[in-house]
Amino acid sequence: MADAKSLTVPKGVTGVLVFADGSAVFGRGFGAVGEAVGELCFNTSITGYQEIMTDPSYAGQIINFTFPHIGNVGTNPDDVEADSPHALGCIVRQDVTEPSNFRNVEPFDQWMQEKGRIGLAGVDTRALTRMIRLKGAPNVVIAHDPEGKFDIAALAEKAAGWPGLEGMDLAIEVTGTERPWKDGVWRLGFGYGVGEAGDERPHVVAIDYGAKNNIFRNLVKAGARVTVLPATATFEQVMEQKPDGLFLSNGPGDPAATGGYAVSVIKQALEAEVPIFGICLGHQLLGLAVGAKTVKMHQGHRGANHPVKRLEDGLVEITSMNHGFAVDADTLPANVKPTHVSLFDGSNCGIELTDRKAFSVQYHPEASPGPQDSFYLFQRFVEGLK
């Protein structure tokens, strides 16, 4: 890190990461020119950077990739999880090279520029990761200027003035509109398939708090007919769809803030005995709806290699995660049992109600990117609706 008091930008620098205390990390900017303020986090995935950058759960965050070679396979229109990127920017070790993949349509740095996202290369990303693990996820500004003109003091002031993710409802900003969902899971040479069966399929209403597209695709693959509703959907709007089951999606921000309008809907659905399946933010919101509390984590879990133990039989799933808040297992009521636990830090990764057909997991079971250990959850939910 540069001297917090010197404010001198080294020669040849075109990108910078500035912390609230005035310290800075210099490098080579790529992608869009400009600046963005958000929370710095790290992701341990070695593939799937395009899916990660477009994951709505990353709204308000800047991603420090631990894998050094990001961008080497380019980008394409199939490997996206939303219409546009939601991560504010990314930090990488090596410069983005020319893409080498038969599916490439556009180089990663060009894609970042077109999408208005800032990149910073030439940084010791492992050192940043260790810092986050030690001190927690900080508020930072990432900036890119081809001429290397940065006002470090002003950028530090901007980082210090950003309120942070705690107490912030971001689901309202990234949610989609009401729509039927038809696409199935993508396969090489076939594209996105669709469900062969029609209206006889169980009807799942999915509330979109910032969902990845592949979540909906896996519900279709598991045999469901899916209707997506926005995060602000009321209980009456949900029931107008005559759902066989209710799905609560992933999403960004503080679950307690989103819970201001979401929890009452979930409570009413539980009282009406509508079967429920939630993931990530949806897991946290289900936890709040049954009376538990959520807490801000020190560094969060982000990556495609997180081991989670299934408590009923001891099986370990390797999972994909992206969350900075967690359900406090010590606050779960008597009618809710923990079902999964992180083997990294012991935090809660799953719950199930004993008196209702409702369960949830903290991780992303759709494998985009990530392992496919947890697809059974979609099957379990949809099969339970038939």
* Catalytic entry in 86, 283, 323, 364: 364
Instruction: Quickly list DSSP for 251-290.
Output: --S-HHHHHHHHHHHHHHHHHTT--EEEETHHHHHHHHHT
Residues 129 and 212 in one domain: no
What is the chain's Cα-based Rg?
21
Dihedral of CA atoms 168, 112, 106, 84 in degrees, nearest 10, equals 30
- 3-state DSSP call for residue 20? coil
Residue 32 lies in a domain: yes
* End-of-domain residue from the set 161, 184, 210: 161
Mean pLDDT, residues 76-97 taken together: 95
The pTM score is: 0.95
Mean pLDDT, residues 293-319 taken together: 96
Residues 177 and 320 in one domain: yes
CA distance to 41, 273, 283, 306, 348, per residue, from 300 (Å): 8, 32, 15, 12, 12
- 3-state DSSP call for residue 307? strand
Query: Are the CB atoms for 75 and 112 separated by under 8 Å?
Result: no
Residues 155 and 203 in one domain: no
The pLDDT value recorded for residue 195 is 58
Instruction: Say how many CA atoms lie within 13 Å of 245 toward its Cβ.
Output: 28
Residue 7 lies in a domain: no
Query: Are the CB atoms for 40 and 26 separated by under 8 Å?
Result: no
Residue 1 lies in a domain: no
Q: Is the dihedral of CA 320, 253, 85, 154 positive or negative?
A: negative
* End-of-domain residue from the set 137, 161, 185: 161
The pLDDT value recorded for residue 183 is 87
* End-of-domain residue from the set 161, 194, 228: 161
Residues 204 and 331 in one domain: yes
**Domain extent at residue 132:** 15-161
Residue 3 lies in a domain: no
* Longest distance between any two alpha carbons in the chain, whole Å: 68
The pLDDT value recorded for residue 4 is 47
In this prediction, residue 304 has a pLDDT band, given cuts at 50, 70 and 90, of: very high
The CATH number assigned to the domain holding 245 equals: 3.40.50.880
Kind and range of the H or E run holding 202: none
The tally of domains found in the chain comes to 2
Residue 205 clears pLDDT 60, i.e. is over it: yes
Residues 243 and 371 in one domain: yes
* Catalytic entry in 35, 39, 352, 366: 366
Q: Which residue type is seen at 270?
A: L
In this prediction, residue 291 has a pLDDT band, given cuts at 50, 70 and 90, of: very high
**Does the annotation count 280 as an active-site position?**
yes
Dihedral of CA atoms 179, 184, 187, 191 in degrees, nearest 10, equals -50
Instruction: Tell me the per-residue pLDDT of 248-271, one tens digit each, with 9 for 90 and over.
Output: 999 999 999 999 999 999 999 999
Query: Are the CB atoms for 195 and 220 separated by under 8 Å?
Result: yes
Residue 57 clears pLDDT 70, i.e. is over it: yes
Instruction: Tell me the per-residue pLDDT of 11-55, one tens digit each, with 9 for 90 and over.
Output: 889 999 999 999 999 999 999 999 999 999 999 999 999 999 999
Cis, peptide link before residue 77, omega less than 30° from 0: no
Distance in angstroms (rounded) separating the CA atoms of residues 8 and 87: 28
Q: CA angle 217-280-376, nearest 5°? A: 50
In this prediction, residue 184 has a pLDDT band, given cuts at 50, 70 and 90, of: confident
- 3-state DSSP call for residue 323? strand
Of 378, 366, 319, nearest to 347 (Cα)?
A: 319
Residue 370 lies in a domain: yes
Residues 152 and 61 in one domain: yes
The CATH number assigned to the domain holding 119 equals: 3.50.30.20
**Does the annotation count 364 as an active-site position?**
yes
Distance in angstroms (rounded) separating the CA atoms of residues 194 and 215: 14
Residue 256 lies in a domain: yes
* Catalytic entry in 41, 90, 280, 349: 280
In this prediction, residue 9 has a pLDDT band, given cuts at 50, 70 and 90, of: confident
Residues 130 and 270 in one domain: no
Residue 266 lies in a domain: yes
CA distance to 150, 176, 203, 250, 300, per residue, from 209 (Å): 36, 8, 19, 6, 19
The pLDDT value recorded for residue 239 is 98
Residues 357 and 233 in one domain: yes
Residue 188 clears pLDDT 80, i.e. is over it: no
Distance in angstroms (rounded) separating the CA atoms of residues 285 and 277: 11
Distance in angstroms (rounded) separating the CA atoms of residues 195 and 383: 15
Residue 310 clears pLDDT 70, i.e. is over it: yes
Six token digits for residue 300:
């969060």
Residue 9 lies in a domain: no
The pLDDT value recorded for residue 191 is 78
Phi, psi of 301 (to 5 degrees): -125, 120
Residues 290 and 339 in one domain: yes
Residues 258 and 276 in one domain: yes
Residues 52 and 95 in one domain: yes
Average pLDDT of the chain to the nearest whole number: 95
**Does the annotation count 366 as an active-site position?**
yes
Residues 236 and 254 in one domain: yes
